[in-house]
A and B are shown apart, each in its own frame.
Chain A
Amino acid sequence: MTLLSVRDLTVKFGTRGTPVTALHGISFDVARGERVGVVGESGAGKSITGFALMNLLSRPGYIDSGEILFEGKDVTKMSDREIRRLRGNRMAMIFQDPMVTLNPVLTIGQQMIETLRAHRRLSYDDARQISLVKLKEVYIPSPEARLDQYPHELSGGMRQRIVIAIALLLDPQLIIADEPTTALDVTIQADIMELLLEMCRSNMVGLMLITHDLGVVSQVTERTLVMYAGRIIESGKTRAIINDPQHPYTQGLINALPQQTPPGTRLRQIPGSMPTLSTMPPGCPFNPRCELATDVCRARMPEITQFGEVQVACHEVKRLHAELAELEGAQ
């Protein structure tokens, strides 16, 4: 059952003169309770996607075309009031740095109770009780005392747990986690990821995990979208993508993992860097960095096509598959 269905979502940034396109007609689905990873380099459009889903793009960014169907209703056409009822309530978001996402002048309790009471008709005491329960769920020791503390009195890991508790407060259907562990200690990263996974599993909450940590993606998610320069270039079952990446960019990403290189040798990397939005090359955006690039790649943008378990947007992959099919046909 689809919870979220994004169709041809195009996001533009209206700077002086012609607007630049940050997302080029991306489409994907998230089923109820499904965990989807979004990976890609910085600037690939991962976070923009997250913000666009909540219709939270601030000027100069705007949704140019496409639709975002959440539980059957188009987010892009909702009134402000409807969207506000959705945010936090049906769809929640977790940000990168828990040091700055909690309001420094309000206690944890005030922030949780305010959130609850903004969406539900609850008495103060009931809201406090629910907050306590949620804090216990995310394994916060002595939650009673935490409620009256200010964010600066808590550690980073603790704060991210509280952020997760706040996100789960209203039992949302989808959580968008934008690099939830990047700002944390390595030792705590695994804990938080495990917590997030457990919370999503036990509450049947969909998760959209935005990250550039392929390790995390392979542990937590069921499906993966690989983004490059505002496009989804490969998507499919996480296992299939990690074990057998098709797109040269995905291959490059996986080969660049330190575990993929024998000790003592130079780490592999993808040469060059991602084009900026205003200097997008013609054809496939990856062609200047791609070893397999041909004239076709430099001329035309490949379409996303289904190959077995995954969908890939690459001329070369398409050609190889076609050749393979021909060989099989000849045999």
Chain B
Amino acid sequence: MTDQTAENPVIAIRRPSRLREFWASNIAYSFRRNPVAIVSMAIFLLITGVAFCAPLIAPFDPYDPAQIDILNSEYPPFWVYGALPEFSLGTDDQGRDLLSTILYGTRLSIIIGVCAVAVQAFLGISIGLISGYVGGRTDSVLMRLADIQLSFSTLMVAIIFLALTQALFGSEIFSRYAVVFLIAVIGVAEWPQYARTVRATVLAEKKKEYVDSARVLGFGPGRIMLRHILPNSLSPIFVISTVQVANAIISEASLSFLGLGMPPSQPSLGSLISSGFDYILSGSWWITVIPGAVLVTLVLVINLLGDWTRDVLNPKLYKG
């Protein structure tokens, strides 16, 4: 008697690692083949990377009044005559180093954009799922709400809301919680975009047989919605998310430009552009133009990535 256990030889097919699997996938392949996507992704990563490392790499802290000297105001960037070597991109009207301010401002803009989209996605996906899955009267009510919301332009809703809160709480408290207010208002104003997209996909997915078979297996509506239908409707959600981040960043910039967003003491890209706008005709164009260029590049790059995801995730759009 040998004590060798007669174990069944298990033919174990080793699955490749997650990373390797991703590298071999269609998405990665299409990405490698698309120079626009590669360049966009590189610029996007560069901007976000640099922005999020702002406290480490920025030469000055624009939030620290001790480092700001009004006498340093309006120095031009290095390639213009009269620049100071320590302010490579010049200074703004209050004497802050423009490079540092842009880095901090971009970080703020991206945070507001992403968080606002998270709020939109949460509201929109839940409402869209319920609306599409339950259907009937619930669907009509929720979708009419969405229509009403869409019939006001985002900016109008945001301006009214922000102007009211500013008047209500006073500008002291408002400027302290401006980030939260901005995220809330941009998040709430744009949920119908998500809700409509999600509802449309849910309506299509709901008809498929795996949903029937999930019901046959005795799963409740919550589980079917979240675990079965939602994962199958993710691709349009991805596409819309990228576009919405760009939109949210623009909305934030517009609101800040109108003086309803970030206060000048904690400038985002929008309020920086706005504060420089007063000086644009007096020769200090860089205060507006340089943050403006950063904003345009950021939004453009995100939109290009959004286009690319749409092409990849929608097989009907394959270009030959």
Contacts and interface: CB of A to CB of B under 8 A. Distances in A.
Contact of B209 (A87, A101, A106): A101
Given A59-B135, A84-B219, A93-B213, 7 more contacts: A87-B218, A89-B218, A101-B213, A105-B231, A106-B227, A106-B228, A114-B227
Interface stretch (B9-17, B120-128, B269-277): B9-17
A102 B210 contact: yes
Cβ-closest 4 pairs across A and B:
A87-B218, A88-B217, A88-B218, A93-B216
Contact of B216 (A87, A96, A118, A141): A87
A56 B210 contact: no
A118 B223 contact: yes
Contact of A118 (B13, B15, B219): B219
Contacts of B12: 142, 144-145
Contacts, number: 72
Interface string B205-231: 000111011111111100100011001
A119 B128 CA distance: 28
Interface string A187-219: 000000000000000000000000000000000
Question: In which size bucket is the chain A interface?
Answer: 20 to 34
A195 to B, nearest CB: 18
Given A89-B218, A119-B218, A95 B11 contact: no
A52 B15 CA distance: 42
A85 B212 contact: no
Given A114-B227, A142-B11, A148-B15, A103 B215 contact: no
Interface in A139-153: 141-142, 144-145, 148
A141 B15 CA distance: 17
Given A142-B11, A145-B11, A145-B13, A103 B219 contact: no
B34 interface: no
A103 B218 contact: no
B232 interface: yes
A103 B212 contact: no
A95 B212 contact: yes
A92 B15 contact: no
Interface of B: 10-13, 15, 135-136, 208-210, 212-220, 223, 227-228, 231-232
B230 to A, nearest CB: 9
A85 B12 CA distance: 36
A23 interface: no
Interface in A70-103: 83-89, 92-93, 95-97, 100-103
A95 B215 CA distance: 12
Given A118-B223, A142-B10, A145-B12, A101 B210 contact: yes
Nearest to A169: B217
A85 B218 contact: yes
A197 B219 CA distance: 27
Nearest to B206: A58
A106 B217 contact: no
A198 to B, nearest CB: 22
Contacts of B136: 59
Given A84-B218, A84-B220, A115-B217, A104 B11 contact: no
Contacts of A106: 227-228, 231
B209 A144 contact: no
A100 B209 contact: yes
Interface centre among A56, A59, A86, A105 (most CB of B within 10 A): A105
B31 to A, nearest CB: 21
Nearest to B231: A105
B210 A166 contact: no
Contacts of A105: 231-232
Interface centre among B10, B218, B223, B228 (most CB of A within 10 A): B218
Contacts of A100: 208-210
A54 interface: yes
Contact of A88 (B11, B135, B209, B216): B216
Contact of A87 (B11, B215, B228): B215
29 contacts: A56-B212, A56-B216, A59-B135, A59-B136, A87-B217, A87-B218, A88-B216, A88-B217, A88-B218, A89-B218, A93-B213, A93-B216, A95-B212, A100-B210, A102-B213, A103-B214, A103-B228, A103-B231, A103-B232, A105-B231, A105-B232, A106-B228, A115-B217, A118-B217, A142-B10, A142-B11, A142-B12, A144-B10, A163-B213
Nearest to B232: A105
Contacts of B232: 103-105
A99 B70 CA distance: 70
A114 B210 CA distance: 14
Nearest to B215: A56
B251 to A, nearest CB: 32
